Amino acid sequence: MNRVAVVTGASRGIGRATAELLAQEGWHVAVSDLSADTLGAVLDTIGTKGGAATALAADLTDAAQVTALAEQAWALRPDHLALVNNAAFLPPEAIAGDTDLLSTEDWIWDGAWRVNVRGTMSLCRALLPGMLDRGAGAIVNIVSMLGLQPLPGQQIAYTTSKAAVTMLTRHLAVTYGARGIRCNAVAPGSILTENQRATYDDDALAKKLERYPATRLGTPEDIAAAVAFLLAPAAGFVNGQVLTVDGGVTTQLAL
């Protein structure tokens, strides 16, 4: 069976780790990001390890590019197609400025909703008809623990956009589950990506860890493993769920 997984935001961090793991598990991975120039490293790593990958660059805020990405994905002739919506608007300057309703500027709101919500929705809408024609497909959306359990002064635009994607996930699951489409989400906690390291110094990261009932912060590989599970046959009866991978911090916050 030719299994193809489209992974957005795949040039680094969670997207790259997910693409590499899925390739190891036998998926042909269609890696996507804004520019094909940023995808060389992940393509090389997958190829070196004997995996199959194709670069499909696209700006998810551009309708024509989303349509082209979907057409290129189906041109790989998959028997089964999966979509991992990982691309997000999260530049370090937006993280620093995304605090509360009175302080967060419009450009941060606009970027978060344009990429995180509309971009995710647009790619789902572009790929879903082909999945329905085949009676099978799986979607995993990367959301956020802060979209489930907010913290004061932390990323109001980003987290509300991710809360919207959580509801999109559930809506797709209940609407299309009976036609063979599964849609789930993974909600990461603090993950040590390049963005996190660029935004927070060691002291700030140590303070983050103090809130966690865990011995470490998360890694991109932790999230990749959760995504791979949700796309696997073992998760065939899992639909409309949000798998929180956060070291237990949201459980602790809810107490």
How many angstroms separate the most distant Cα atoms in the chain? Answer: 52
Q: Which residue bears the tokens 């890694």?
A: 219
CATH class entry, domain 3-245: alpha beta
Question: Is 158 a residue of the active site?
Answer: yes
Domains of the chain: which residue ranges? 3-245
Q: What element of type H or E holds 137?
A: strand 137-142
- pLDDT above 60: residue 229: yes
The reported pLDDT for the residue numbered 220 is 96
Selected catalytic residue, list 158, 176, 200, 212 = 158
Q: Is 89 helix (H, G, I), strand (E, B) or coil?
A: coil
Looking at residue 90, what is its pLDDT?
86
Can you list the alpha helix ranges (DSSP code H) found in 25-155?
A: 40-48, 63-74, 92-97, 106-111, 120-134
81-97 pLDDT, tens digit per residue, is 999 999 999 888 898 89
Is the pLDDT reported for residue 255 higher than 60?
Answer: no
Q: Is the pTM of this model over 0.85?
A: yes
For residue 63, the model assigns a pLDDT of 98
pLDDT in the model for residue 252? 78
pLDDT above 70 for 22 = yes
Beta-carbon count within 10 A of 152 CB: 7
